[in-house]
Amino acid sequence: MTHRAAALFAALSLAMPAALAQAVAPPAIPHPIDGYLVTRAENNCLECHDRPRDIGGKRAKGQRVPAPASHYVGRLDARPEIAGGYFGCTSCHRPR
Ligand code: HEC
Ligand code: HEC
């Protein structure tokens, strides 16, 4: 991780409301994340997990899990964006 990315994560962690972080534990990441970049400009996690229309839908075992509604701002059926405090995925989600 670059210093810039580390600084960004630190800032995001500080911005995250403590109550929210404690209310529900973020699920661990069940797959390797080597090579999945999470920076201000690019976020490889979103290639698989940015599926707002699939939230609440049926899902076969092993299929990608859509990031939940809590991570978005805007209407889920109208191109919502990941909320700023949720962009640094790996500051909350850790590999198993
Ligand atoms: C190539 C597609 C892909 C990419 C890229 C990817 N994931 Fe995943 N992710 C999956 C799939 C598929 C599952 C479901 C695996 C399973 O259920 O066994 C999953 C599961 C998860 C889960 C578990 C959700 C739950 O409810 O248990 C988390 C958390 C997660 N990924 C976070 C991340 C993060 C953070 C990144 C970026 C660092 C990332 N993923 C990148 C495909 C991907
Ligand atoms: C501020 C901490 C935080 C950040 C940052 C964060 N998450 Fe989460 N995530 C959570 C929590 C807490 C949950 C479980 C409660 C909920 O649904 O909000 C969760 C749940 C999930 C789930 C499981 C959804 C399900 O239905 O089981 C996935 C997938 C996920 N997050 C992906 C991501 C991705 C991708 C990113 C980056 C774009 C990300 N998260 C950033 C805290 C976070």
Q: What is the pLDDT of residues 60-79, one digit of tens each?
A: 888 989 999 999 999 998 98
Report the pLDDT averaged over residues 44-50: 95
Ligand 2 pocket by C-beta < 6 Å: which residues?
Answer: 16, 21, 24, 26-27, 43, 45-46, 49, 65, 67-68, 70-71, 82, 85-89, 91-93
| pTM for this prediction | 0.85
> How far is residue 22's CA from residue 39's CA, in Å, rounded to a whole number?
25
92 versus 24: which is more confidently predicted? 92
Report which protein residue has its CA nearest ligand 1's atom 22: 29
Give 54's pLDDT tier (boundaries 50, 70, 90).
Answer: very high
Tell me what pLDDT residue 6 has: 63
Tell me what pLDDT residue 12 has: 59
Ligand nearest to the CA of 49: 2
Ligand 2: which atom is nearest the Cα of residue 65? 29
Tell me what pLDDT residue 59 has: 87
> How far is residue 35's CA from residue 85's CA, in Å, rounded to a whole number?
22
Percent of the chain exceeding pLDDT 90 equals: 56
